[in-house]
Structure 1
Amino acid sequence: MDSPPSKSWSIHTRKEITSKYEIFERVGSGAYSDVYRGRRRSDSLTVALKEIHDYQSALREIEALQTLQNCPNVVVMHEFFWSEDDDSVLVLEFLPTDLGAVIKAAKKIWDNGLTVGEIKRWMVQILCAVDACHRNSIVHRDLKPSNLLISDDGILKLADFGQARMLLAPGLAAVDDGQPYGKASRNVPTPMYTPEFNPVMENAYREGQSHHYQRNVAKEDRIADSDEFRYRLDDIDSIQDGNTSCLATCTNSDFEDDPLKSSYVEDEEGDLAPLTSCVGTRWFRAPELLYGSVNYGPEIDLWSLGCIFAELLSLEPLFPGTSDIDQLGRIFTILGNLSEEVWPGCVHLPDYKTISFNKVEKPTGLEACLPNRSPDEILLVKKLLCYDPAGRATSMELLHDKYLNEDPLPVLVSELRVPPKNSELDEDSPGEWGDLNSDSDMDDFGPVQFSRTENGFSVQFS
């Protein structure tokens, strides 16, 4: 990659880091982060050194990774370097490829694409990671193939928690009854991640656990103790929800930065205030976010899962929008219009009355987008791509879904094909994913009608 910008050279001059790690080439970069390949001097372990230039993003990522330290499908943080005067540096396990590369390899170089058993095993690993987040009241908010990293031996790990948010409030707290979140009193402690096993999940956890390296963080710096963890709402600092990093551990990212979006913090009494809708990568962003919702929960991750699973099944992105308006248009073309009939209460979304579309008389339907896939596969995606957030299946419910527990069963992790490093697949990739940061291409939509309303104006797209 190109030489890092001047702001990133601080990592090379910090003796507390260079005394413990050799720092090699930069392998990823974004507006708020740079990632370098490194080697630990004590044992020659290859690591990823993630230098985060944004204070809040660093805080979010450290808290989330410590909370999820016992989940074999979340990237391991060995230690971190925190300073008020310098960028934070996280030392993470180095994972050479990601699910996006799996999809590209299946499309370009592997005969017959992905087998059903392979697809199911990738799904199981992803669901285990997301279930771990939601059991601990963590919303990732940027689920996409490039943030699902993969080791050489097929272990999938969720990474990049720079946009993650902990939902610990009087009405939302993690519980240990098999549900991802539920009602709880203000001071009910949040349990560490405790997976609920079933036969399909067992191999993934058993094989993944053996690859989970021991963290190396000073005890006084830990937010979570490895033996016993209790996290209370009163212990949470007020965290602004503005600009954040979404750079994956070892991959580039497509964060859409909108400085005009509001930031929200906990109020004076410590209750969790509304979130921001400017999160995630457009192709995987839930409709409620596209309509400006600031009152959402883990369900936005479930929508993203539906988009990822559809891409695993078809090897093509399901909703590759070129702007937020185009994104909504593509969703409506396939699933039909968003209305009170399919989601009671949707008219109260902040931008619902501002932006309207002509009625889609005959939606394409998921069946047409997923040709040659079984009814059970299509049904699995439908359970996630539901307009009403309350109707989306949870990750735990899907882990017990009939589709994942019938023949052909998921292959063993050791039987998964792992693609070559991303650079070997990217020769023709510039522009392949499009410009995910552009929202100014209204000319693509034909006639646009503007009309005045009591709240300002409305825009209708043909």
Structure 2
Amino acid sequence: MEPSSAKSWSIHSRPDIIHKYEILERVGSGAYSDVYRARRLSDGVIVALKEIHDYQSAFREIEALQILQGSPNIVVLHEYFWREDEDAVLVLEFMRTDLATVIAEAKKRGSDGVESGRGLAVGELKRWMIQILSGLDACHRNMIVHRDLKPSNLLISDDGMLKLADFGQARILMGPDYVESNEISQPCEINSSDQVPSSQPSAVLPGTESSVREGNRTEEQEPISKEEYFRVLDELKAKNSANEFDKETCTYDGDTSCLATCTTSDLEDDPFKGSSYSYEMEGGVPADDGHGSLTSCVGTRWFRAPELLYGSTSYGLEIDLWSLGCIFAELLTLEPLFPGTADIDQMSRIFATLGNLTEESWPGCSELPDFQIISFNTIEKPIGLEACLTNCSSDEISIVKRLLCYNPANRATAMELLQDKYFTKEPLPVPLSELHVPSTKSGQDEDSPAGWYDYNESDSDMDEIGPMNVTTNATGYSIQFD
């Protein structure tokens, strides 16, 4: 991809940044951010500069990465620049490739020289899985739900270290009272060499600028009261948002992370967006309103949990576990498990494999916002996960099954899976040095909205679905799909 003229890039007009970094090239672009490869002038280290044009995404990514600082399987935030009248620019460690490329190259290699019917040796597979689990465990221990886990957001360094990235959709599942003291400090300075997790989450105030000096707070960074913090935060939100709800409820920027070549996420343009396909005449857009409310319109469709597809806004960490099951299945087969072309098609693929979502499979599922609005014909004989995971061991199938449960409470946690016997059996996980690490990300138009995969999306879910019955009810419509 040819970079744009330097004069047209707003990042080049930021003296605080160009004083410390030489911007080499733009390497990726998404709906709400741009990523540049840069050289730190003080020591020549190559970094990624992620310029985020959306206030909420920037705030959440900085907040999550500060909390997770020191976790070995989380991408490192070196520092960030953010003033009230400018976009946030995150300085992240530069990682050349991602798990999507690992899968793509393994698929190209086929089974030649590896194991019959498989593109990834079991030892490699286990090492990748352990690293993903470790990163997710770090998130969930800190009550952070990522909300957009997928192979292209799992970045990989040249030495095989895998790290979770792109926390623009992440949420901390705690209210304001999670702060242990009566004060919230401004962001601490972060050093990439520091490997000591912070003792408590650091709140981030936009309009401040952080720089790296030994991982300590500078003397001029005075703490502010909790009340003042939330007052300023509310003012900034009102100034930066023309809507009453979070932009992410209708748009995504899932892949603009610190990857050398980044892509855009699963951009959706369908009539179900915003109202969780309810078509209710009095329905509204679910909101991340800044006061703890969640939205169901997050994540990339192929990895989206059923509760999100049915419009839930009261979900928890378990939505990441469903995504994890989809990722593991793809690692095992080198093919996406549920490659839905639209949200309704996504649901039908899940049901065809696992069976219908019922009160028996998930007590309480009938209370999901859209459960009474959308219905499918009964699947008499679902194909089952075993049919999708051919050439996989019983242990591997078991792990995927423990994640892809309708009832979120039954999904195995990352911590539980890290202790699974599968990882202590022969063949053992290989050392990082024995992993096949692609030299670069797969060649694809980085500005393509299709991202890493060919979604072949239509403009409407209706284009992808067969016969359906629409009936009216007290609140709007009810749609049944064959």
TM-score, with normalisation over the residues of structure 2? Answer: 0.80
Structure 1 Cα separation of the partners of residues 155 and 422 of structure 2 = 24
Structure 2 Cα separation of the partners of residues 255 and 54 of structure 1 = 17
Aligned pair 1:131/2:151, yes or no?
A: no
The 1:340/1:6 distance shift into structure 2, 3 A limit, reads farther
Paired residues of 2:60 and 2:171 also in contact (CA < 8 A): yes
Q: Between the two proteins, what is the percent identity of the paired residues? A: 61
Structure 1 Cα separation of the partners of residues 216 and 340 of structure 2 = 45
Q: Any idea what SS the aligned residue of 2:349 has?
A: helix
The residue type equivalent to 1:164 in the other structure is A
Q: What's the CA shift for 1:276?
A: 0.3
- 1:313 maps to what in 2? 332
Aligned pair 1:27/2:27, yes or no?
A: yes
- 1:109 maps to what in 2? 109
**Over residues 272-302 of structure 1, what are the superposed CA-to-partner deviations in whole Å (9 max), with x where a residue is unaligned?**
3x30001000000000000000001100000
- 1:449 maps to what in 2? 469
Paired residues of 1:241 and 1:263 also in contact (CA < 8 A): yes
The residue type equivalent to 1:248 in the other structure is S
Q: In the TM superposition, what are the counterparts of 1:387-402 in structure 2 within 5 Å?
A: 387-402=406-421
Q: Any idea what SS the aligned residue of 1:383 has?
A: helix
The 1:444/1:423 distance shift into structure 2, 3 A limit, reads closer
Q: 2:359 aligns with which of 323, 326, 340?
A: 340
The 1:38/1:391 distance shift into structure 2, 3 A limit, reads same
Q: Any idea what SS the aligned residue of 1:379 has?
A: helix
The 1:306/1:5 distance shift into structure 2, 3 A limit, reads farther
- 2:125 maps to what in 1? 119
Q: What's the CA shift for 1:402?
A: 1.2
- 2:222 maps to what in 1? none
Aligned pair 1:264/2:288, yes or no?
A: yes
Structure 2 Cα separation of the partners of residues 408 and 34 of structure 1 = 41
Q: Any idea what SS the aligned residue of 1:80 has?
A: strand
Aligned pair 1:72/2:72, yes or no?
A: yes
The 1:88/1:438 distance shift into structure 2, 3 A limit, reads farther
**Over residues 80-138 of structure 1, what are the superposed CA-to-partner deviations in whole Å (9 max), with x where a residue is unaligned?**
11111111111111100000000001000363311111010000000010000011111
Q: 2:399 aligns with which of 354, 370, 380?
A: 380
The 1:226/1:316 distance shift into structure 2, 3 A limit, reads same
Q: Any idea what SS the aligned residue of 1:422 has?
A: coil
Paired residues of 1:254 and 1:437 also in contact (CA < 8 A): no
Q: What's the CA shift for 1:256?
A: 3.6
Paired residues of 2:310 and 2:370 also in contact (CA < 8 A): yes
Q: Any idea what SS the aligned residue of 1:38 has?
A: strand
Paired residues of 1:241 and 1:264 also in contact (CA < 8 A): yes
Q: Any idea what SS the aligned residue of 2:346 has?
A: helix
Q: 1:411 aligns with which of 413, 430, 438?
A: 430
- 1:248 maps to what in 2? 257
The residue type equivalent to 1:18 in the other structure is I
Aligned pair 1:143/2:149, yes or no?
A: yes
Paired residues of 2:286 and 2:313 also in contact (CA < 8 A): no
- 1:62 maps to what in 2? 62
Q: CA RMSD in A?
A: 3.1
Structure 2 Cα separation of the partners of residues 186 and 423 of structure 1 = 42
Structure 2 Cα separation of the partners of residues 345 and 293 of structure 1 = 12
Structure 2 Cα separation of the partners of residues 102 and 62 of structure 1 = 27
- 2:453 maps to what in 1? 433
Q: In the TM superposition, what are the counterparts of 1:82-97 in structure 2 within 5 Å?
A: 82-97=82-97
Q: In the TM superposition, what are the counterparts of 1:212-223 in structure 2 within 5 Å?
A: 213-214=193-194, 221=210
- 2:158 maps to what in 1? 152
In terms of mean alpha carbon deviation, does 431-440 or 86-95 score higher? 431-440
Q: What's the CA shift for 1:262?
A: 2.8
- 2:51 maps to what in 1? 51
The 1:297/1:8 distance shift into structure 2, 3 A limit, reads farther
Unaligned runs of 5+ in 2: 182-190, 196-201, 218-224, 238-244, 276-284
TM-score, with normalisation over the residues of structure 1? Answer: 0.83
